[in-house]
A and B are shown apart, each in its own frame.
Chain A
Amino acid sequence: MKSLSEIETTVKRASKAAGYSWGVSEETGKSIRLLELFSLPGIKHLNEYFNQKNKSKFENLNLISENNFSSNSPYCPITLGVSFLDQINVLENLKKIEFKNVAYPIIFISFISRSSEIIGKKIMVKIDEKKMLLNLNVNIILNFIDQEFPKIANTIEVNLLENEDNFTDDEWNNLYKLSEETFVEESDSLKEGAAGAGLTDND
């Protein structure tokens, strides 16, 4: 089994050899390492992408807007990913961003996952009919675990989610009530002596 350290180093060097700058290659190394850590096919897709890159043209998108459409050739997932990562603080205000025609979207996803950590928000991504939830770069949840990742995404919809609870108020209140059963009702003497601070704390 390859270690993550080997994966990161080799991806960094391969990306440089594929024509990216050292700085972008470092980003790619981190991103593919992340995918492999999450058991997603990073190496496989990067390998295929680099093979395709020699034969076909890919579009570099440096400045991301709300709707991004590449009519001629698919977007390069690495340049797109680095741009997304770099511009995430601005993109955060858009809530929903759309990309049409992206090559090897799983590679792009790794950069979005890292962006989720930077802004401290979960991100929901739809690649055509497939959905994934990126949880602050801690994990990625998919609704298609037993299916192949697409090599081309016709449409990628990125939704930046607001920080909200994942449960109802009722569910929380019930649980909280149960937790209160570990508390001790304070008598007057406990109120006076158990807290540590003085009773005149506004002097």
Chain B
Amino acid sequence: MKIELRDPNKIMKLSRLGSFHQSKLSFLRSFLNEFKEWEYKRDLFNLNENGFGEAVYSFKKNKRVYSLVCFANEIKDEERSDRVIATKWDAAFTLHDGVPTKKDIERLKNEVPKQEVGRLSYKELTLSRANKSLRIYNHVVESLSKGQQPDLNLLSKVGYLYRTTAVYGSGKFGLADRFRIKNREEINGPFRLEMMLVYLVRQFTFDQVNHVAYYKNPKTAVKLDDNICKNLGIGNSTGLGMAPFIVNHPTLLNNWILSREKALKKIREIKDVESQDSDLFIDCVKKSLKNISSWNTDSEYQQKKISSLLKDVEKFLNFINKDFNFEIEYPFNKIYQWLEDNTCEECIEYIVSIMMEPYNNIVNPLVKEMSSDEEKYFNIPTHRKVEELRNIIEAKYPNILDINFEEKENNKNFWFISKNKEEPRLADRFEEHGSELEQPLAIARDIKKLYDKLLVSKNSLTIAEFLTSNSELRHVVRRAFIVEKFPYSEIQDNTIGKDLMPIDMLRLKLSFFGALKFDPRSDKWLRICMFQGAPLPNELKSYDEQWVYKTNI
């Protein structure tokens, strides 16, 4: 049986993209898989009794070394903020390419804690900072220093000791450009070095609490239990900065989604499913219920989504237990069809992610297809004709063409870059100033404008001729030719309408990172948890691949 890839016009709607969940394709899971054979080491741990100072952690294989350089700083409570306007953080980190010399560490000590206003060099690959979760960190230190393990109930409410507030890579603030390292096989996957940084930061947080607890009371202190460490991740606060990324990198977005779609298609095309595979799938769905029930958020929007997800996953398990037989032909296709007919988008995408669990043979080759050589597709094929471009738009953006941008509600917002922080922001164009400096992120509106122009242009005109008098539409002409080749490269929705939920855009990206427990703090920023349940560095050589569904706190 041949299954078609799902329709981009359905999958690329924001409500669907905002329902995506982590899967085996997620970058933090593929990072662990790639680096499991590497030698992990703590090379330097020079903290004072209060936990302030420097530390270096590394992954090494053959002659290649990646080193996380950590700087833990003393800051006042009132200086601590997760918002991008902060200027001080509890800890700052950079991933250095190779083994840092003393001179490097001195240089980095001056620059890394400054983050956006510091300067890094081509020898640094990623940059980040993090703040303590005060309610958890202090409790853990206190408990350990008294010889006790911390209260698991309290830990389960947060899930991490520190949360990062930004992770930068790819040439920002002087960091190495991607092209310098793109031929390294071990990082042939998006955001792999960012994932490495976050993973090593997680280990630093455990070492730091153990260290501080010990110096607080050397006679009674105990170390944080390995099993508890394993069930703690790293938090992350994410705002709008992430949203434009998925618009600005269309071929990359396509390759992420296409890999997911190909995986689903191949799984639906499996005629006979081995019992061990169906057992693993069902086991993961059952165990994952704990992830849903321990998913805490104050957001009413997310609470509703979690509640319908939980209800639908339970309904699904009921269906599998009572009405379903995996011995029929193409069982996963039947399951998928049932999900589409009976459950919400959040549940459909949740189960789709879990379907991948038994199938390394399908998923692993796709992981290698998730990067993109974006430069290759940048040039506009200007020899082509207006008629061809119009046909592409009609075929690829059918719903976009139905939107009336003359209506205020469809044209309500504009994206801009804040002068203060050089970060993307969203505002109401009818109430705020600045819309004349709008960023080119209103793709749906501009595609519609392009289409209207094409309708009154001669079919036989070349695109080069068309562009001589329509330069303002050049950015969307480029995109239309990209979507022709890359069907999942475009969000098929209005990114400036009144109903826009920007966190849908963030969730899409974070799901591919492998984030869990999305916790929206407003419609524009959210908190997440990464690596919760993941093996510790010294366990990497042999670990349970389904760790993500087996968290204990």
Interface residues, chain A, with chain B CB atoms under 8 Å away: 1-6, 13, 20-24, 26-27, 30, 62-63, 82-83, 85-90, 114, 118
Chain A residues lying within 8 Å of B122, measured Cβ to Cβ, are: 1, 3
Main SS class of interface, A: helix
Q: Is the CB of A24 within 8 A of B471?
A: yes
Interchain CA distance A118-B380 in the complex, whole Å = 10
Pairs across A and B, CB under 8 Å, 9 listed:
A1-B122, A2-B174, A4-B179, A5-B177, A23-B476, A63-B468, A82-B471, A89-B464, A90-B383
Chain B residue nearest in CB terms to A91: B464
Sample of 11 more A-B contacts, CB < 8 Å, known A1-B174, A24-B474: A3-B172, A3-B174, A5-B170, A21-B473, A21-B475, A22-B472, A26-B378, A30-B378, A82-B471, A86-B380, A87-B464
Chain A residue nearest in CB terms to B120: A3
Contact of B121 among A1, A30, A89 (CB under 8 A): A1
Interface residues, chain B, with chain A CB atoms under 8 Å away: 121-122, 170-179, 375, 378-380, 382-383, 417, 440, 463-464, 467-469, 471-478
Q: How far is the CB of B179 from chain A (nearest CB, A)?
A: 7
Q: Is the CB of B478 within 8 A of A23?
A: yes
Q: Is the CB of B171 within 8 A of A86?
A: no
Interchain CA distance A104-B192 in the complex, whole Å = 41
Q: How far is the CB of B528 from chain A (nearest CB, A)?
A: 25
Interchain CA distance A36-B179 in the complex, whole Å = 14
Q: Is the CB of B121 within 8 A of A86?
A: no
Q: How far is the CB of B11 from chain A (nearest CB, A)?
A: 27
Q: Is the CB of A90 within 8 A of B172?
A: no
Chain B residue nearest in CB terms to A30: B378
Q: How far is the CB of B371 from chain A (nearest CB, A)?
A: 16
Interchain CA distance A26-B115 in the complex, whole Å = 27
Chain A residues lying within 8 Å of B177, measured Cβ to Cβ, are: 3-5
Known: A22-B440, A23-B475. Is A3-B171 also a contact (CB below 8 A)? yes
Chain A residues lying within 8 Å of B469, measured Cβ to Cβ, are: 62
Chain B residues lying within 8 Å of A86, measured Cβ to Cβ, are: 380, 382, 463-464, 467-468
Q: Is the CB of A21 within 8 A of B174?
A: no
Q: How far is the CB of A28 from chain B (nearest CB, A)?
A: 11
Q: Is the CB of B440 within 8 A of A5?
A: no
Interchain CA distance A21-B380 in the complex, whole Å = 15
Chain A residues lying within 8 Å of B478, measured Cβ to Cβ, are: 23, 26
Known: A86-B467, A90-B464. Is A6-B475 also a contact (CB below 8 A)? no
Interchain CA distance A24-B468 in the complex, whole Å = 11
Interchain CA distance A3-B173 in the complex, whole Å = 8
Q: How far is the CB of A84 from chain B (nearest CB, A)?
A: 10
Chain A residue nearest in CB terms to B378: A30
Q: Which one of A1, A3, A82 has the greatest number of beta carbons of chain B within 10 Å?
A: A3
Chain A residues lying within 8 Å of B474, measured Cβ to Cβ, are: 21-24, 26-27
Chain A residue nearest in CB terms to B464: A86
Interchain CA distance A27-B378 in the complex, whole Å = 9
Q: Is the CB of A5 within 8 A of B178?
A: yes
Q: Is the CB of A6 within 8 A of B172?
A: yes
Q: Is the CB of A118 within 8 A of B379?
A: yes
Q: How far is the CB of A146 from chain B (nearest CB, A)?
A: 26
Chain A residue nearest in CB terms to B441: A22
Chain B residue nearest in CB terms to A13: B417
Interchain CA distance A6-B170 in the complex, whole Å = 9
Q: Is the CB of B382 within 8 A of A87?
A: yes
Interchain CA distance A26-B380 in the complex, whole Å = 12
Q: Is the CB of A5 within 8 A of B463?
A: no
**A-B pairs with the 7 shortest C-beta distances?**
A23-B474, A5-B171, A3-B171, A23-B475, A86-B464, A22-B440, A62-B468
Chain A residues lying within 8 Å of B464, measured Cβ to Cβ, are: 86-87, 89-90
Q: How far is the CB of A61 from chain B (nearest CB, A)?
A: 10
Q: Is the CB of B174 within 8 A of A23?
A: no
Interchain CA distance A164-B247 in the complex, whole Å = 42
Q: How far is the CB of B255 from chain A (nearest CB, A)?
A: 19
Chain B residues lying within 8 Å of A1, measured Cβ to Cβ, are: 121-122, 174
Q: Is the CB of B475 within 8 A of A3?
A: no
Known: A4-B179, A5-B177. Is A85-B379 also a contact (CB below 8 A)? yes
Interchain CA distance A114-B463 in the complex, whole Å = 18
Q: Is the CB of A22 within 8 A of B175?
A: no
Chain B residues lying within 8 Å of A20, measured Cβ to Cβ, are: 471
Chain A residues lying within 8 Å of B121, measured Cβ to Cβ, are: 1
Chain B residues lying within 8 Å of A88, measured Cβ to Cβ, are: 382
Interchain CA distance A118-B377 in the complex, whole Å = 11
Chain B residues lying within 8 Å of A23, measured Cβ to Cβ, are: 471-478
Interchain CA distance A63-B468 in the complex, whole Å = 8
Chain B residues lying within 8 Å of A2, measured Cβ to Cβ, are: 174
Chain B residues lying within 8 Å of A62, measured Cβ to Cβ, are: 468-469
Q: How far is the CB of B188 from chain A (nearest CB, A)?
A: 19
Interchain CA distance A3-B125 in the complex, whole Å = 12
Chain B residues lying within 8 Å of A82, measured Cβ to Cβ, are: 467, 471
Chain A residue nearest in CB terms to B467: A86
Q: Is the CB of A21 within 8 A of B382?
A: no
Chain B residues lying within 8 Å of A6, measured Cβ to Cβ, are: 171-174
Chain A residues lying within 8 Å of B440, measured Cβ to Cβ, are: 22
Chain A residue nearest in CB terms to B171: A5
Known: A22-B475, A86-B464. Is A4-B378 also a contact (CB below 8 A)? no
Q: How far is the CB of A39 from chain B (nearest CB, A)?
A: 15
Q: How far is the CB of A17 from chain B (nearest CB, A)?
A: 9
Interchain CA distance A23-B475 in the complex, whole Å = 4
Interchain CA distance A87-B477 in the complex, whole Å = 15
Chain B residue nearest in CB terms to A62: B468
Chain A residues lying within 8 Å of B382, measured Cβ to Cβ, are: 85-89
Q: Is the CB of B468 within 8 A of A83?
A: yes
Known: A22-B440, A87-B382. Is A3-B176 also a contact (CB below 8 A)? yes
Q: Is the CB of B383 within 8 A of A89?
A: yes
Interchain CA distance A88-B380 in the complex, whole Å = 11
